[in-house]
Structure 1
Amino acid sequence: MNISLTGRHVELTEPIKAYMNTSINTLSKYNMDIISVNLIASSQTKKGKPLSVVEFVINLAHKNSIVIKQSDQDLYAAIDLAAERAQKAMRRIHDKENTHHKDGINEAKNEAFKSVDLHEADEAMEDEIIPVELTLYKPREVEDVLNDLKDSNKMFEIFLDNENKTRVLYKRSDGRFGLY
């Protein structure tokens, strides 16, 4: 990565250069192919007040350049704000690259069919069916079902009685219960 530090109407002292280099080095954590970083610090006067302006130009391989311009009354604050905005831009590009992989539906189907043999799957499904008796279908007394229905908010209950007949106990609109 090539680093270029430039001062326009500003003298770049060693502490300022070191601070600029550390802010540039924070950009390397996104593992992007940075070709060069140009940092230009300048001084302007706006409405009678002196301002420090910092401009980052980051050239990335196979991507557009990132240009960030930030101004503040303090040079160090302007460097911090510009570095933060540069990190945010780099993070966006990094996240977009790493999370937006778009595989076509045909590629996904082909991958799925490679790992599954349809003939074996069909034979495996026809092998054996094991009937299971559920506890819901065990014979119950009408009184037990009536007590359960009173305690719940249900309108009806379907059950098997002691003679293995399917029965329905339901709440009527007059508050009483009916039994089929």
Structure 2
Amino acid sequence: MNTSITGKQFELTEAIKDYANNAIDALSKYGLDIISSRLVLSADEKNGKKGFNAELALNLAHKNTIVIKQKDKDLYAAIDLTLERASKVLRREHDKVTTLKGKADEKDARSLIGSEPIDGIDEIVPTELELYKPQEIEEALEKLKNSDMQFYVFNDIDAKMRVIYKRTDGKFGLF
């Protein structure tokens, strides 16, 4: 990561540069591809009050540039507040990336459904429901008896979706 730390209207000491550099390097823990960072520290005096401005610009690969501005009376506090806000933004970006990656893994697992079983993943076979016309419970029971299915989903005469299933004791259940 390219890091640039500059001071406007005052001279930066080595201690300030080291402090800011270490804080910026800590942002790499989010695993995002930070190409460059630029921290501009400037002194600001308005109405006889001294203060400091800190502006941090982070260039991320394949993303927009993140710019964060912060003011404070103390220079170190301005740096800390700026980097704290940058940390929140990068954490959110990291969460987006990992969440999307996790959803992609689920999608890949779903695409494998119906193919050969994989260790740790139960085999799920999708089926089409025949919901063309309402059926009597007796009709659905006959269909289930004449097939090798464990359960049968149908719409009854009252337009309720019902499930009739084979029980282990040889009887049938109805939801």
TM range (shorter): 0.5 to 0.7
TM-score using structure 1 length: 0.62
Report the number of matched residues: 128
User: In proportion to residue count, which structure has more helix?
Assistant: 1
Deviation at 1:47, TM superposition (A): 3.0
Give ranges in structure 2 of 5+ residues lacking alignment.
Answer: 117-122, 126-146, 151-166, 171-175
Give ranges in structure 1 of 5+ residues lacking alignment.
Answer: 133-180
Provide Cα deviations, 1:17-74, integer angstroms capped at 9, x if missing partner: 0100111011010011010000000011123211100110000000011100001000
Q: Give the Cα separation in 1 of the matches to 2:13 and 2:107.
A: 59
Aligned twin of 1:131: 169
Give the conservation status (yes or no) of the 8 Å contact 2:113–2:124: no
Deviation at 1:114, TM superposition (A): 1.8
- 1:114 paired to 2:152: no
- 1:70 paired to 2:108: no
Query: Which protein is bigger by CA-based radius of gyration?
Result: 1
RMSD of equivalent CA atoms: 3.0
Q: Give the Cα separation in 1 of the matches to 2:30 and 2:55.
A: 20
Q: Give the Cα separation in 2 of the matches to 1:93 and 1:65.
A: 12
- 1:6-25 paired onto structure 2 within 5 Å: 6-25=6-25
Aligned twin of 2:27: 27
CA 1:58–1:112: 2 relative to 1, 3 Å: same
CA 1:109–1:25: 2 relative to 1, 3 Å: closer
Q: Give the Cα separation in 1 of the matches to 2:32 and 2:45.
A: 36
